[in-house]
Amino acid sequence: MKRALLVIAALAAGLLLLIWMFNFWGGQRIHETAPTTPPARDQVARGAYLARAGNCMLCHTERGAAAYAGGRPMETPFGTVYSSNLTPDAETGIGRWSAAHFRRALHEGRSRDGRLLYPAFPYTHTTRVTGADADALFDYLRSLPPVHKPNLQHRLRWPYSTQAALAVWRVLYFRPETFVEDPTRGREWNRGAYLVQGLGHCGACHTARNALGGLRDTMDLSGGLIPMQNWYAPSLTSASEASVVDWPVEDIQKLLATGTSPRGTVQGPMAEVVQHSTQFLEPGDIRAMAVYLKGLAPTPADSNPLEVPRAGGAVLESGGKLYEQHCAACHGDKGEGVRGAYPPLAGNRAVTMPVTANLVQVVLHGGFPPATRGNPRPYGMPPFATTLSDADVAAVLTYTRSSWGNRAAPVSELAVSQQRSSLRD
């Protein structure tokens, strides 16, 4: 028995070694040198726009530091990954990279030396970026002022810190792809699909991940909890979550351009996306994304409201008193809200979604839409983390989810406690 186990272990180790060799050594074949001539001005402008579309600067800029110089920590369930220096510094940035090296990074997830990159860099999505757009992005980055800032070493637990483990992950969850237009769809829809599936990498948040961080399908957009952030990116296909199939295209455009619309308001990580990325896109591209999102095939609601468990009378009574004391002045006695200022809570899908993580986040830490050119002074909601106990938060949310025609499951005190104790800066 022991001998059989040793044989199996040896075979597994040999397989891992072969996978690692295939993945690692397969990437060390580019001998092209870095360009020596300055990039064309139109290429730089186009690349700057594409960088906005991909929201590249947000992750590759440490707070208070030089733009694109890297060093921003990104917490994952496996440890901390630090973004890399994308300025054209020869020693610490991409100053020695060629366009082919950069294209391979986007399309195959490999560094200049062929080393495998961690998928915190969303190459599972940028693999669909065209070669021409990749070259424009590269020209923009090499036009930036070089910043000498060494890249920080990732702090990942073993075995996730090894190239062998990453190679196995790639075998399971990554295949290089190219974007292929759907000939049965119009030009706008295909442009929107390209932006959402590629540079926009919307599925990186709006798709559920498994225990190894793999995406079951990078394009299903069926919603997922964002690891380590305790925000839920709602399903963009579910009628009970964030599907916009019944929205006018103009309302979707307004949401992406300003962060608010007659049908909803963005908060949390999506507020960052609008603030740093989508508000700066050309109207035609925003409309194309809206057309694509509206055209996503809808999925049925997650549950039957008639089968939803009900809260006890004592909880609802307590929640009602808390709502009257802390919430009614803005959101109305009947959850009707104030148009253009405070969102209604009655009939609000953000209130009745099965996943309550976002509600807890907003009550504890406040709700803040992004300040944008189209909505420079948005109305916000103050935090109640120091005012309300876990039981209070659970009660007022349960009341809100059970009133004015809302029919959603209660929020437990344990769920609030777990989320409060796991929050990170």
CA distance 41 to 143: 9
C-beta atoms surrounding 290 within 10 Å: 24
Q: Can you tell me which residue has the tokens 């909803």?
A: 264
Cβ 195 vs Cβ 293: under 8 Å: no
pLDDT at 425 over 50: no
Report the number of secondary-structure helices (H) and strands (E) in the chain: 18, 7
pLDDT at 169: 96
- Bigger pLDDT: 217 or 363? 363
Q: Does residue 93 sit in helix, strand or coil?
A: coil
What is the structure's pLDDT at 114? Answer: 93
The backbone torsions φ and ψ at residue 212, rounded to the nearest 5 degrees and listed phi first, read -100, 10
Q: Is the predicted pLDDT of residue 266 greater than 80, yes or no?
A: yes
- Closest-CA residue to 244 (of 298, 182, 200): 298
Q: What percent of the chain has pLDDT over 90?
A: 79
pLDDT, residue 422, reads 72
pTM: 0.90
What's residue 123's pLDDT? 97
- pLDDT tens for 387-412 read 999 999 999 999 999 999 999 999 99
Measured in whole angstroms, the distance separating CA 346 from the mean position of its chain's CA atoms is 27
Helix (H) or strand (E) holding 273: helix 269-276
Q: Which residues contact 137 (CB under 8 A, 6 or more apart)?
A: 47, 50, 51, 54, 56, 102, 106, 129
Pull the structure tokens for residue 232: 């839920």
Q: Which two tokens stand for residue 101?
A: 């090296």
Give residue-wise pLDDT tens across range 107-137.
999 999 999 999 999 999 999 999 999 999 9
Bridge partners of 215, per DSSP, are 209
Confidence label for 91 from pLDDT (cuts 50, 70 and 90): very high
Is a pLDDT exceeding 90 seen at residue 82?
A: yes
265 alpha-carbon distance from chain centroid: 17
Contact residues for 400 (Cβ-Cβ < 8 A; gap 6+)? 319, 323, 327, 335, 345, 351, 359, 406
Highest-confidence range of 30-34, 218-222, 231-235, by mean pLDDT? 231-235
Q: Which amino acid would we find at residue 388? A: L
CA–CA distance, 53 with 66 (Å, rounded to integer): 20
